[in-house]
Structure 1
Amino acid sequence: MDNFVLGQTRLTTLDFIPSIRLYLADEVIPVWEKSERDAPPFWAFAWAGGQALARHLIDNPDLVRGKRVLDLASGSGLVAIAAAQCGAAEVIANEIDEYAIAAVSLNAQANDVQVRAHLGDLLEEEVDVDVVLAGDIFYSREMTQRMLSFLDRFDGELVLVGDPGRAYAPTSGFDRIAEYDVPVNSDLEDTQVKRTVILRAIPGLVRNTTLP
């Protein structure tokens, strides 16, 4: 797994978050074609939602300092790494793709932080953490509904989501607490800058949220 990730990417410093380096693909099509028999290679790119959420943590480290953090649908591990850099007591990066798990581990090593990569679907499990983070999770109706059902269980914990205006982003149940103009790969997003919001779940209201 590590060799495949390293063969498709190069270590890149993020312009939007210079404190973080990730193994990222320079081009979209080659890595996508080589991954077509497996899960899509979301781990090979720094998506807008994750970049905005990571930036928000770096700017507001007290949100996670000393806390147990879950980064849901972690992808490259970008948000998990930001949480670790901010002094989180424990960081779990969850993914269902074994290549993403490899990418998370490689990226954590490249940034000299401790992140526990967890392979498996946590959406039906009980998870004991203080903070739940998720970047770019509202891209399909089915996934959004599953994610919201999971996030609804965290009434007393901080839940933050980075969303760049995906089609199924909820229209209620969350407060918009920040906005960022995030530089993105134009081959992925058809634009060079993506306006991205940070959403904070309102305790008790996520279950009643409405979708577009």
Structure 2
Amino acid sequence: MSELLETEDRIGFIRAHTRLLPVPHAPEISLHVAEEATELWQKTEEELATIGLPPPFWAFAWAGGQALARYVLDHPEVVRGRRVLDFASGSGLVAIAAAKAGAASVAAADIDAFAAAAIGLNAAANGVSVAPRRDDLIGRDEGWETVLAGDICYERALAGQVIDWLTALAGRGAQVLIGDPGRSYLPKDKLVEVATYQVPVTRALEDAEIKKSSVWRLASAP
């Protein structure tokens, strides 16, 4: 019962402090998004009396995720009829794009409890079915046929760990696509660029209002 109440609290908080708006680079999809990152972070701690919460990554449409969602919507063959994992899903943007493009099933993985709540809200708002996953899936293989990951290369240790895991999945035949606007730890030597976009973003989060963002296919290890 307590977990249910906590989930309801998170959903209520998200509804109260975000607006349902079309995604700039994928307007077919609408998300519950915040207008100011620091203010939302403070409200999360104050209203829910929880200290040490992660930043509200789930409340924004990040550049890499927007690029990846656009690519999936424009190239539905990469997910159509497939079992799809959207890793580090955040708002669920890329997972929703995969569901709209005809994936057989879509899991949206994010360890943040607020992200899981936001994914459920956003999927419902877009009329699609997405399964939130809060467990840490790094190192696991549940037979996904397409794995999507946006904005995962911003921190060295995590990027290395995730890329090694994704490379192993690619090695056994999964299609792995990464959306990224040029984060510091993107391993371009392991990637093949498949598309590039000029993506509108929130200036408070990025260093420009438009971010050149690419979609990359991860090659399997030789």
- Partner residue of 2:18? 9
1:63 to 78, 82, 85: 78
How many residues matched? Answer: 205
Q: 1:20 aligns with which of 14, 26, 29?
A: 29
The counterpart of 1:32, out of the listed 30, 38, 41, is: 41
> Does residue 182 of the first structure (1) align with residue 215 of the second (2)?
no
CA distance in 2, matches of 1:143, 1:6: 31
Please state whether the residue corresponding to 2:27 is helix, strand or coil. Answer: coil
1:115 aligns with 2:130: yes
**Counterpart in the other structure of 2:92:** 77
Asked if the contact 2:37/2:56 (under 8 Å) is kept, the reply is no
* Unaligned 5+ runs, structure 1: 206-212
Which of 52, 76, 89 in structure 1 is aligned with 2:67?
Answer: 52
1:100 is aligned to: 115
* Alignment partners' CA distance in 2, 1:60 and 1:43: 25
Aligned equivalent of 1:192:
209
Per-residue deviation, 1:8: 1.8
| Paired-residue identity, % | 47
Q: CA deviation at 1:33?
A: 2.0
Instruction: Say which is worse superposed, 49-58 or 123-132, in terms of deviation.
Output: 123-132
Residues 88-107 of structure 1 show CA distances to partners (whole Å, capped at 9, x for unaligned) of 00000000000000000000
Partner of 1:168: 185
Cα distance in 2 between the residues matched to 1:15 and 1:149: 32
For 1:197-208, what aligned pairs fall within 5 Å after superposition?
197-205=214-222
The structure whose residues are more often helix, as a share, is 2
| Of 2-11 and 16-25, the range deviating more from structure 2 | 2-11
Letter of the structure 2 residue corresponding to residue 174 of structure 1? L
- Aligned partners of 1:14, 1:159: CA distance in 2, in Å? 23
d(CA) in 2 for partners of 1:113 and 1:23? 15
Q: CA deviation at 1:190?
A: 2.4
Shift of 1:35: 3.8
Partner of 1:204: helix, strand, or coil?
coil
- The 2-side partners of 1:44 and 1:129 are apart by 26
TM-score (norm. length: structure 2)? 0.90
TM-score normalised over the length of structure 1: 0.94
Match of 1:209 in 2: none
Task: Give CA deviations for 1:2-57 in whole Å, capped at 9, x if unaligned.
Answer: 11111221101123111100000011221122346211110000000000000001
Shift in Å, 1:123: 0.3
